[in-house]
Amino acid sequence: MTIFHEIRQLAQSTDNDYLTRARQQGHPTVGIFCSYVPEEMIHAAGAVPYRMRAVASEGTSLGDTYFSSANCSFVRRVLDKGLRGDFDFLDGIVFMNGCDHNRRLFDNWSYAGPDTGFNYMLFVPHGRSEACLAQYGHELAKLGRFLEGRFGTELTADRLRRSVALYNRKRALLQEIADSRRAAVLPISGTEFLSLMLAVTAVPVEDAIALLEQVLAELRAGRVHTEKAVLRLFVTGSCLEELSHMELVESAGAVVVADAICLGARYFERPVAVGGDPMTALAERYLRNLSCPRMMDDTAGRIDHVRERVSSFGADAVILEKLEFCSMMSGESYIASHELRKVDIPSITLTRELYGGGVGQLRTRIQAFYEKVINRS
């Protein structure tokens, strides 16, 4: 099996052998929901952080008994999986108030009680100001005390520093792979990169590093995925994990060359600073990293980032991804599309249900958009 096959398999399954092995060695698995939950803290407490996902989801029928039809399909699917027992291997979950739907996922999960250990809610402020940073630091300290009590360990500065070093290494490897997509000849597609992200956020960091080193070795050996993309795309938006959707976006010769999604650049950009107090450094990095559309005071920063990446990765157009009922992305996509139009960058907002239908309609919209972009150049 090639490394890319293994990655694809990991990306498509909920649990995996790496996690089983870690559990056998006494490292419990802790689910996390968002790029604002510092994985280093969970790792330093002796557990393995695991990014929650809806892959291999069978539907929403169980989730729909708790959520309504006006709630996002990501949370409905994840809860559905939880109620079917797909996450029974977890020893706890750190939820986060990413949005109203996610916030209520914590409530419904706690109420419905899938057998997944503890449920912890981390409240993350919606801004990056000094006041917000202080509040976030206070919330992280609370989380730290909770993890210490739960796992009977102490989150010492040394332990945290060791975890930071490992996660920084993982970030650096991901960054190098992502940067390889700046070239005209693309060594890896957007779908493959998303698989890689799904895989390395589902295994212990030590194994993730080993997997990434193998991938990088292949790339360095001259792997070619696309000689010349018909269109180079930049993708941003809210929750996006479906490989099938990425494949649809990458149809007709288009390739995603960069992104600003949570299973992408938002995860690995910017290392955690080393040398000082690790908790302060973690708070600073996680709150002030490349921001998510939920953050209020950085809309302009996010759009600048898109503009800069479009130019430095030679992208021809931007895809704004939105799940139905994600108000967060409703505001963001309106502003982004207006701002991008001002600098002559074509963009399209794709609204979908996670693993949902309507593929035919989406395909038609995507193709019409691509034709428009190709014809203008």
Partner 1 sequence: MELKPYEIIESVIAGARLGTKVLDSPHLAWLGVKAAAPLLFHREHRLNRAGRFGFQKIGSSRWSPGELAAYKHDCIATLAFFQRVLDARDGREPLVWLGWPLPIEVASGFDDVAAFVPEAFMAIANMVGTDGHVACLEAVEREGISDDICAMDRISLGAYLLEQIPTPAAIVSVAHPCDASRTTSQLMEYISGAPAYTIDTAYTKEDADVALYSKNLFEAIAFLEDTLGRKYNWDKFRRMVAVLNEQNRYLNEITHMNQSIPSAGLSLGLQTAWGSKITGAGNPELVKSAKAMYNVGRFRLRYPQLRRKVEKFRIIVADMPIVFSEMSMWIEKTFGGVVVGDYIGDAIFPEIDCTSLETMMMGVARDRLYMGMVKQAHGAARETVDDLERQIEQFSADCVIQNGHQGCKHNRALQRIVKDVCRRHDIPILIMEADIFDKRVMSEAEIKRELTNFFVANGFAS
Which stretches of the chain bind partner 1, using CB under 8 A?
Answer: 65-68, 70-72, 75, 97, 99-101, 103-108, 111-112, 121, 123, 125-127, 131-132, 134-135, 138, 294, 296-297, 299, 322, 324-328, 330-335, 351
Give min distance, CB of 352 to partner 1, in A: 13
User: Strands 317-323, 254-260: parallel, antiparallel or unpaired by DSSP?
Assistant: unpaired
- SS3 of 349, please? strand
Q: Where are the alpha helices (DSSP H) in the chain?
A: 3-12, 17-24, 39-44, 73-84, 100-112, 130-151, 157-179, 190-200, 205-220, 243-249, 265-268, 278-288, 299-312, 327-342, 359-376
Cα–Cα dist 302/291, whole Å: 7
- Sheet with 48-51: list strands edge to edge: 48-51, 29-32, 92-96, 118-122
**Partner whose footprint covers residue 127, from partner 1, ligand SF4, none (CB < 5 to 8 Å by kind):** partner 1
| Under rule CB under 6 A, residue 238 binds ligand SF4 | yes
Give min distance, CB of 269 to partner 1, in A: 22
| Under rule CB under 6 A, residue 323 binds ligand SF4 | yes
Which one, 64 or 176, has the nearer CB to ligand SF4? 64
| Under rule CB under 6 A, residue 261 binds ligand SF4 | no
**Partner whose footprint covers residue 40, from partner 1, ligand SF4, none (CB < 5 to 8 Å by kind):** none
Cα–Cα dist 29/229, whole Å: 39
Cα–Cα dist 348/356, whole Å: 19
Which one, 72 or 315, has the nearer CB to ligand SF4? 72
**Partner whose footprint covers residue 248, from ligand SF4, partner 1, none (CB < 5 to 8 Å by kind):** none
Which one, 345 or 354, has the nearer CB to ligand SF4? 354
| The token pair that represents 85 in the structure block | 């027992």
Cα–Cα dist 128/139, whole Å: 14
Q: Which of 328, 336, 345, 366 binds ligand SF4 (CB under 6 A)?
A: 328
Q: Which of 43, 51, 101, 128 binds ligand SF4 (CB under 6 A)?
A: 101
| Under rule CB under 6 A, residue 37 binds ligand SF4 | no
- SS3 of 322, please? strand
Binders of ligand SF4 among residues 59 to 98 (CB under 6 A) are: 72, 74-75, 98
- SS3 of 119, please? strand
Which one, 128 or 225, has the nearer CB to ligand SF4? 128
Which one, 130 or 227, has the nearer CB to partner 1? 130
Give min distance, CB of 145 to ligand SF4, in A: 27
- SS3 of 355, please? coil
**Partner whose footprint covers residue 258, from partner 1, ligand SF4, none (CB < 5 to 8 Å by kind):** none
| Under rule CB under 6 A, residue 263 binds ligand SF4 | no
Nearest to 54 by CA among 265, 228, 263, 258: 263
Part of the chain binding ligand SF4 (CB under 6 A), chosen from 137-145, 166-174, 265-273, 322-330:
322-330
Q: Which of 54, 239, 254, 348 binds ligand SF4 (CB under 6 A)?
A: 239
Nearest to 347 by CA among 307, 313, 295: 307
| The token pair that represents 65 in the structure block | 């008994």
Part of the chain binding ligand SF4 (CB under 6 A), chosen from 245-253, 321-329, 331-339, 357-365:
321-329
Q: Which residues of 117-144 are buried (b: 16+ CB within 10 A; e: fewer)?
A: bebbbbebbebbeeebbebbbebbeebb
Asked if residues 90 and 22 have their Cβ atoms less than 8 Å apart, the reply is no
Cα–Cα dist 282/46, whole Å: 17
Give min distance, CB of 144 to partner 1, in A: 16
**CA distance between the termini of the chain:** 41
Which one, 109 or 355, has the nearer CB to partner 1? 109
Contacts with ligand SF4, residue ranges (CB under 6 A): 72, 74-75, 98-99, 101-102, 238-239, 323, 326, 328-329
